[in-house]
């Protein structure tokens, strides 16, 4: 009995760690840069499939692949904001208009990224093996790769949180999140900061995808479901809050794991119910202001 | 209203009737291929016009068309054997209307973006729920749909489209249309002038869903076999948005032109180069949003007015 409960709880936490990391990325992109990036899951898919390719072609260890995938994802995100979203921001009449048009543009990105991936990798499901030996946690057995995934997800979240709280650039990002206009008046290079945020968001998604690829099979269509889950996590935790994303991510992971144990076909329905409840009781999310 | 506008509206009504009559002649004089192609273009036009009916004036981007269309598709698949076609379409339309009423009442109070997110997830949610039901209770994955000949499908689709056009036009010209515009300008201000914002938004949203459901019920008969992945395909949520953005949402004909262009492109490219087609779809969406804020129609008006007005073309 205890092993069965532990089984569900630990599985939920492992899943939750990935949800949390990716959600921090979206939280930055929407909470600070105001871009509701529907293509967020696609960056994740790119991270996962690039890791697979590096592993297959060069035999590269996924942990080393982080050093390649992370910076590349960051640069793609940064450049996207400097070109596309900066222009949209300039031509939009209001922040509301910008949110609408940037969301539609990110739908365009979703199609572009997914189909470039379809052309490069085709639609077959792919997987590689990495640290598949079992590890026992109080009697419940888990593959070692999933523990590595969780450890890295938490470590990335903590590092980024410290970066936001401790450094000068982190302060500028937090200022831009509160009030972009005033931050700009105080000497923050706002376009630079927003582009950096978008880049960091893409970085989180890319690394999240890399971590997912260690323990789950992947295909080019995997992004959409993660995008939906991420949106729910961010709504649950509160836009722009890193602790909120972690609380939301782990809660959703746990709920998903419990529901999957009882009735495997209904996990998304459970997430939705939760989403509705949060929006009704506290629309700003758990940690939202 | 001055005589100029009356003449203009007479011309546009005449043009609309002429187009409908010409479309009605397609099955009599065109090849079967032309007829099937025209059916699919009318389907996209119907989806786009009903999408614009709600999302155009209010500015709340709904990503639920695929959910409502899927509702109609599943109605046709499960009731097609027992009920005559007109009744199936009515039930499909009513089912979508009720689903939209529920979703609208729950989410249209929320900030615009949450509405978009919720409606988008609704497609995936419906897919999962239907799949779960089928696997659990009927022990199948897909269903066969009663086959109907292509000419009937064509005329029924055309009839739905005509009813939709008249409804959309009447709504736009009525006081409710003006109220919807006011909501789009500023929701709070609209509420202060005595408009029941949530109720009006919910009803309009449901009305647009009704036509999407009807479209789904008739088009299902063309596909003969369906499963939750075919019926609830997010693609049908994106197409109306793209077609409307591309054609220009502000005008009546913009969305229809957008639908015609993409309907043709899809026919030419989708079966042979699916990935390249979808890739182009994404590129056009991004370019249309960044460089054509008023769509193709906006480009034409801008070009007519000349360079002088180019700077204030976007409000």
**Residue B167: predicted pLDDT:** 93
Residue positions counted in chain B = 315
CB within 8 Å of A288: residues ≥ 6 apart: A237, A238, A239, A240, A241, A244, A282
Q: For position B234, what pLDDT does the model report?
A: 84
A228 reaches B (C-beta below 8 A): yes
Residue B110 and residue A225: Cβ atoms within 8 Å?
A: no
**Quick one: tokens of A79?**
């450049």
pTM of the model: 0.84
Token reading at A153: 């997800």
- For the domain covering A2-281, report its CATH number: 1.10.3470
Residue-wise DSSP of B139-169: --S-EE-----HHHHHHHHHHHHHHHHHHHH
Nearest to B290 among A87, A232, A265 (CB): A87
Return the pLDDT at A113.
Answer: 94
Q: Return the pLDDT at A198.
A: 93
Retrieve residue A59's tokens: 């035999």
User: Which residues are CB-contacts of B32 (< 8 A; sequence separation ≥ 6)?
Assistant: B150
pLDDT < 50 positions in chain B: 1, 307-315
Q: Tell me whether residues A112 and B283 touch, CB distance under 8 A.
A: yes
A86 shares contact with chain B (CB less than 8 Å): no
CA A149 to chain centre: 14
Q: Report residue B268 as tokens.
A: 């030419």
- Which pLDDT does position B176 carry in this prediction? 92
CB B213 within 8 A of CB B71: yes
Q: What is the ipTM of this complex?
A: 0.84
Rank A42-46, A285-289, B16-20, B31-35 by mean pLDDT and report only the highest: A42-46
* Residue B225: its H or E element: strand B225-226
* Local structure of B272: helix, strand or coil: coil
Instruction: Give chain A's largest Cα–Cα span.
Output: 60
* Cβ(B219)–Cβ(B61) below 8 Å: no
State whether A100 and B118 contact (CB < 8 Å).
Answer: no
CA distance A67 to A69: 6
Reading the block at residue A183, the tokens are 């931050």
- The whole-angstrom separation of Cα B217 and Cα B226 is 12
In this complex, do A108 and B276 lie within 8 Å of one another by their Cβ atoms?
no
Quick one: pLDDT at residue A22?
A: 92
Structure tokens at B152: 């009937």
Which residues, listed in sequence order, are joined to residue A19 by a DSSP beta bridge? none
> Quick one: which H or E segment has residue A141?
strand A140-143
Tokens 């499909």 correspond to what residue? Answer: B92
Sort out which chain A residues have CB atoms less than 8 A from B59's CB and list them.
Answer: 96, 100
Residues of B in contact with A38 (CB under 8 A): 120
Q: What is the pLDDT of residue B92?
A: 94
Interface test with B, best of A104, A277, A285 (most B CBs within 10 A): A104
Q: What is the mean pLDDT of residues A47-68?
A: 89
- Minimum distance, in Å, between the CA of residue A250 and any CA atom of chain B: 20
Mean pLDDT of A2-26: 86
pLDDT at residue B308, as a whole number:
46
Q: What is the pLDDT of residues A144-186, one digit of tens each?
A: 888 888 888 889 888 988 998 899 988 888 888 888 888 888 8
Confidence of residue A2 (pLDDT cuts 50, 70, 90): confident
Handedness of CA A193, A196, A202, A205 (dihedral sign): negative
- Predicted local distance difference test score (pLDDT) of residue B159: 94
B143: β partners: B226
Angle at B27 between CA B23 and CA B32, to 5 degrees: 120
B14 — contact with chain A (CB < 8 Å)? no
> Which sequence spans correspond to the domains of chain A?
2-281
A270 touches chain B (CB under 8 A): no
Distance CA A224, CA B193 (A): 41
From chain A, the residues in CB contact with B139 under 8 A are none
Candidate from A107, A276, A279 with C-beta closest to B285? A107
Name the band, by pLDDT with cuts 50, 70 and 90, for residue A125: confident
Q: Token pair of B128, please?
A: 């999962």
DSSP A126: B
CA-based radius of gyration for chain B: 20
Instruction: Judge residue A96's burial from the number of C-beta atoms within 10 Å of its C-beta, 0-12 exposed, 13-18 middle, 19 or more buried.
Output: middle
Among candidates A145, A149, A141, which has minimal Cα distance to A132? A145
CA dist list (Å): B268 to A287, B46, B271? 50, 20, 8
């Amino acid at each position: 009995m205890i092993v069965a409960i532990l089984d569900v709880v630990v599985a939920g936490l492992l899943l939750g760690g990935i949800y949390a990391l990716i959600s921090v990325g979206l939280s930055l992109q929407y909470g600070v840069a105001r871009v509701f990036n529907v293509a967020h899951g696609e960056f994740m898919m790119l991270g996962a499939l690039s890791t697979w390719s590096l592993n297959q072609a060069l035999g590269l260890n996924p942990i080393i692949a982080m050093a390649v995938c992370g910076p590349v994802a960051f640069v793609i995100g940064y450049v996207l904001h400097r070109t596309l979203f900066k222009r949209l921001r300039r031509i939009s009449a209001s922040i509301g208009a910008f949110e609408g048009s940037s969301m539609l543009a990110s739908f365009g990105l979703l199609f572009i990224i997914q189909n470039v991936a379809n052309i490069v990798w085709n639609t077959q499901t792919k997987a590689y093996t990495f640290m598949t030996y079992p590890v026992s946690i109080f009697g419940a057995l888990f593959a070692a790769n999933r523990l590595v995934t969780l450890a890295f997800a938490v470590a990335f979240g903590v590092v980024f949180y410290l970066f936001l709280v401790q450094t000068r650039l982190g302060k500028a990002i937090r200022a831009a999140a509160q009030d972009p206009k005033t931050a700009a008046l105080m000497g923050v290079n706002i376009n630079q900061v927003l582009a950096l945020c978008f880049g960091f968001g893409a970085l989180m998604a890319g690394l999240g995808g890399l971590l997912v690829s260690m323990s789950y099979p992947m295909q080019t269509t995997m992004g959409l479901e993660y995008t939906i889950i991420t949106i729910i996590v961010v709504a649950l935790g509160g836009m722009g809050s890193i602790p909120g994303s972690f609380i939301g991510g782990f809660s959703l992971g746990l709920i998903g794991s419990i529901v999957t144990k009882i009735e495997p076909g209904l996990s998304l329905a459970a997430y939705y119910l939760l989403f509705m409840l949060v929006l009704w009781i506290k629309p700003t999310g758990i940690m939202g202001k | 209203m001055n005589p100029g506008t009356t003449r203009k509206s007479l011309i546009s009504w005449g043009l609309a009737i002429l187009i409908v009559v010409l479309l009605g002649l397609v099955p009599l004089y065109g090849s079967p291929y032309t007829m099937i192609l025209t059916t699919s273009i009318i389907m996209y036009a119907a989806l786009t016009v009903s999408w614009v009916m709600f999302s155009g004036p209010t500015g709340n981007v709904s990503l639920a068309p695929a959910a409502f269309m899927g509702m109609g598709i599943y109605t046709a698949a499960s009731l097609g054997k027992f009920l005559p076609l007109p009744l199936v379409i009515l039930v499909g339309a009513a089912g979508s209307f009720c689903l939209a009423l529920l979703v609208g009442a729950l989410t249209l109070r929320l900030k615009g973006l949450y509405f978009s997110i919720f409606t988008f997830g609704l497609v995936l949610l419906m897919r999962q729920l239907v799949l779960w039901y089928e696997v659990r209770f009927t022990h199948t994955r897909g269903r066969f749909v009663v086959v109907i000949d292509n000419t009937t499908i064509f005329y029924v689709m055309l009839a739905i489209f005509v009813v939709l056009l008249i409804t959309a036009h009447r709504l736009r010209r009525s006081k409710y249309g003006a109220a919807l515009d006011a909501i789009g300008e500023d929701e709070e201000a609209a509420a202060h002038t005595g408009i029941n914002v949530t109720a009006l938004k919910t009803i309009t949203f449901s009305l647009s869903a009704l036509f999407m459901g009807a479209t789904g019920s008739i088009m299902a008969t063309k596909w003969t076999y369906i499963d939750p992945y075919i019926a609830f395909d997010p693609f049908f949520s994106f197409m109306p948005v793209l077609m409307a953005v591309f054609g220009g949402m502000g005008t009546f004909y913009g969305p229809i032109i957008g639908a015609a262009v993409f309907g043709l492109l899809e026919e030419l490219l989708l079966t042979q180069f699916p990935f390249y087609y979808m890739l182009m779809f994404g590129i056009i969406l991004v370019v249309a949003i960044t460089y054509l804020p008023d769509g193709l129609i906006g480009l034409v008006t801008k070009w007519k007015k000349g360079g002088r007005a180019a700077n204030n073309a976007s409000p």
